[in-house]
């Protein structure tokens, strides 16, 4: 099976693309790429939605990338040469526009859209509310979804939130962790302060102010916890204000993606998300998968998708698929988060159990090959058992 990864994604900045690419390759697919990175982060794209006068810049950059994609895609399409067409095209992360071009360039080939985030959903989470912009983003999501033969989402809740017309084409593929997150570091000596890390954008989804309030509580009672906070975003100032000037907190604006796995692996605990909005209640963030792969204990919010993936370290619900690898606290509850960190700091044996459980779950279930098994099966089922004797494959009905 020949799969063409297509679009303006940036695999170095967004590990989701690498997880899909490497996972499908591990299942035996021949993976090809036609890529022209746009050079804008999710935050940058949303900033343009808040400042409409900057949209012409986005349009210009997108057109330049599309021109490059059109030229580079020629070797994968048409020309009457057998074997040039891919069996399927996978449009990478943030491909709401790219899927429109992919459908035009590859009209007879199945198109897979990684719909990890909806345009409207992400904008609402970052403060873009309703009005004309909201309606336009909803139309963009609908246009993107309608062009895809397979829609990839990250949780069952995300699938259920899709418009009903598109749910039947959805495949759940957990975010997973790229191979470079499965790092091996020397075991930290027992004793000393608990070391926890948070990394990501400071957006409402993350609930970073909840972490800030928890840090203030820990500082007030002298709990032996040191926390590294990595990232920036709209809630950073509020988070720092809530945390106060207590000792034991290190603020880092940026870490190179290549250095992040080792930095996280040097901590005991990886903090997940603690937001209370609709989106926060239906996702499992990348830091949960990556932190587990790096061998950290996981402390995150007790939501249906996170409990399903991780299970609860202390309350083994027989229906939990994760098998008890997460320390779960109520969303938005700073007191509960502080108590969870305080308890781990006071009990080295429980901390070791939490780290071991998370690392074991990651090795079993969070690798690229593990998370893409269902997607690979869907693609195999879509394709003909034998290639038709034509140069242009037919799009499955």
Is 351 a residue whose pLDDT tops 70? yes
The residues that bridge with 89 in the sheet, in sequence order, are 4, 111
Joined together, the tokens standing for residue 237 give 């100032």
Angle (CA) 323 155 232, round 5°: 100
More confident residue, 265 or 132: 265
Range from 133-137, 200-204, 305-309 carrying the lowest mean pLDDT:
133-137
DSSP letters, 262-304, are HHHHTSSEEE-----STTTTS---HHHHHHHHTT-EEEEE--H
| Span of 20-29, 75-84, 225-234 with lowest mean pLDDT | 75-84
Q: What is the pLDDT of residues 332-343, one digit of tens each?
A: 999 999 999 999
Rounded CA separation 392/106 (Å): 10
Q: So what's the pLDDT on residue 49?
A: 53
pLDDT in tens, 291-301: 999 999 999 99
Q: Quick check: 386 pLDDT over 60? A: no
Buried b / exposed e across 26-61, counting CB within 10 Å, b at 16+?
bbebebbbbbbbbebebeebbbbbeeeeeeeebeee
Contact in structure between 35 and 6 (CB atoms under 8 Å): yes
Q: Where does the pLDDT of residue 383 fall: very low under 50, low under 70, confident under 90, or very high at 90 and above?
A: confident
Q: What is the pLDDT of residues 309-324, one digit of tens each?
A: 999 998 755 445 556 8
Average pLDDT, the chain: 87
Answer whether residue 62 shows pLDDT above 60: yes
Q: State whether residue 161 is helix, strand or coil.
A: helix
CA dist 391 → 65, 90, 140, 236, 340 (Å): 28, 20, 33, 54, 60
Q: Which domains does the chain have, with CATH numbers?
A: 2-176+369-382 (3.40.50.2000), 179-366 (3.40.50.2000)
CA angle 381, 97, 12 (to 5 degrees): 80
What are the pLDDT digits (tens) for 137-185?
A: 788 889 999 999 999 999 999 999 999 999 999 999 999 999 999 976 6
Tokens of 74: 């020629």
Q: Let me know: does 37 contact 8? Beta carbons within 8 Å.
A: yes
């Amino acid at each position: 099976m020949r799969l063409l990864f297509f679009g303006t994604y940036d695999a170095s900045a967004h590990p989701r693309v690498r997880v899909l690419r490497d996972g499908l390759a591990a299942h035996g697919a021949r993976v090809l790429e036609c890529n022209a990175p746009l050079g804008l982060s999710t935050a940058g794209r949303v900033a343009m939605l808040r400042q409409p006068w900057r949209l012409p810049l986005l349009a210009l950059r997108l057109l330049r990338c599309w021109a490059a994609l059109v030229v580079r895609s020629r070797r994968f399409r048409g020309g009457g040469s057998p074997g040039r067409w891919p069996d399927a095209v996978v449009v990478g992360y943030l491909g709401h526009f790219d899927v429109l071009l992919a459908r035009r360039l590859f009209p007879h080939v199945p198109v897979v859209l990684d719909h990890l985030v909806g345009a409207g959903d992400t904008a609402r989470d970052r403060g873009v509310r309703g009005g004309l912009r909201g309606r336009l983003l909803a139309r963009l999501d609908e246009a993107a979804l309608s062009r895809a033969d397979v829609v990839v989402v990250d949780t069952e809740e995300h699938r259920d939130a899709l418009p009903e017309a598109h749910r039947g084409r959805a495949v759940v593929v957990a975010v997973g962790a790229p191979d470079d997150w499965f790092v091996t570091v020397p075991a930290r000596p027992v004793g000393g302060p608990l070391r926890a890390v948070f990394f990501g954008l400071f957006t409402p989804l993350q609930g970073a102010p909840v972490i800030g309030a928890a840090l203030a509580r820990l500082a007030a009672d002298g709990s032996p916890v040191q926390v590294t906070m990595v990232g920036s975003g709209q809630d950073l100032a509020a988070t720092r204000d809530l945390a106060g000037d207590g000792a034991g907190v290190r603020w880092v604006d940026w870490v190179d993606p290549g250095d992040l796995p080792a930095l996280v692996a040097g901590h005991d605990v990886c903090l997940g998300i603690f937001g209370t909005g609709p989106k926060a209640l239906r996702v499992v963030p990348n830091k949960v998968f990556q932190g587990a792969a790096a061998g950290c204990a996981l402390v995150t919010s007790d939501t249906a998708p996170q409990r399903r993936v991780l299970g609860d370290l202390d309350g083994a619900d027989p229906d939990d698929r994760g098998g008890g690898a997460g320390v779960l606290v109520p969303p938005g509850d700073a007191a509960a988060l502080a108590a969870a960190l305080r308890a781990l700091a006071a009990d080295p044996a429980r901390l070791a159990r939490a780290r071991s459980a998370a690392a074991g779950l990651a090795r079993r279930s969070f690798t690229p090959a593990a998370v893409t098994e269902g997607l690979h099966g869907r693609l195999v089922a879509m394709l003909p058992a034998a290639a038709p004797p034509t140069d242009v494959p037919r799009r499955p009905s």
